[in-house]
Amino acid sequence: MIDELEFIQIFRIDLDRLNSYYERIKNQFQGFTPIQIIAKFLNGQSIGTSMYDVIIVLEYYQQKINDEKTLLDFAFEWIRAKQIRFHYTKFLANAQFPDYEIAVDASIFLFFQQYDIILRQLLKSEIKEYEISSLYEIFFSPIEANADFNKILEDQKNQVPTIFRDTNRIDIKIYTLRKGLSNIIKKDFNKTIIGR
């Protein structure tokens, strides 16, 4: 299992280093738009197969970000997600779960439920659940997956509802996590079986 100190390290990102790197990119590419600069910054952090793919996601979520946050904060969360992915896949390989369903539940409980709290603080409260599940699929897919964001969004829209009772939003966070991450965790789990 994971001890508390290791758990804290998994979620910690070096904001000073990242800000410094972002400022270098911003100064180096002054002719770029702010979104292009952030996409270039993320590509430099091994996120996204191309700047174009990253820009599509940034443009979509730009209006979904909480008013107190910026697109750079969104970029930092994408970097945190990739760091969590690294640790989660290492955990998955070492845990040797008997089947992928247990791997899905354990991974969501140990890693992604905590990240959901962090991520939702970045986003506006009226964001749709399918937009969050789509974000999980984008954030946690392996880089080689070459994901089509518009297709992911459409698929998730058909599977993940935002449910209200009267004017109260019903909490379906676990369902959202499962829909956004189950296929990714299943594929990662299957890779660990091959490696055994």
Q: What is the mean pLDDT of each run of 10 residues along the chain (196 residues)?
A: 64 93 96 97 91 95 96 96 91 88 93 93 96 96 81 95 91 96 94 72
Token reading at 111: 């890693």
| Per-residue pLDDT, 196 | 54
| Per-residue pLDDT, 49 | 80
Whole-Å CA distances, 94 to 77, 89, 128, 175: 26, 9, 35, 26
| Per-residue pLDDT, 153 | 96
Using only C-alpha atoms, the chain has a radius of gyration, in whole angstroms, of: 17
Q: Tokens 């996601």 appear where? A: 57
| Per-residue pLDDT, 178 | 96
**Dist CA 59 CA 56 (whole Å):** 5
Contact 60, 149 (CB under 8 A): yes
* Residue 131 CB partners (closer than 8 Å, separation 6+): 61, 64, 153, 156
| Per-residue pLDDT, 7 | 62
- What are the φ and ψ backbone dihedral angles of 46, each rounded to 5 degrees? 60, 40
| Per-residue pLDDT, 1 | 52
Beta bridge partners of 164: 169
| Per-residue pLDDT, 3 | 57
**Dist CA 144 CA 28 (whole Å):** 27
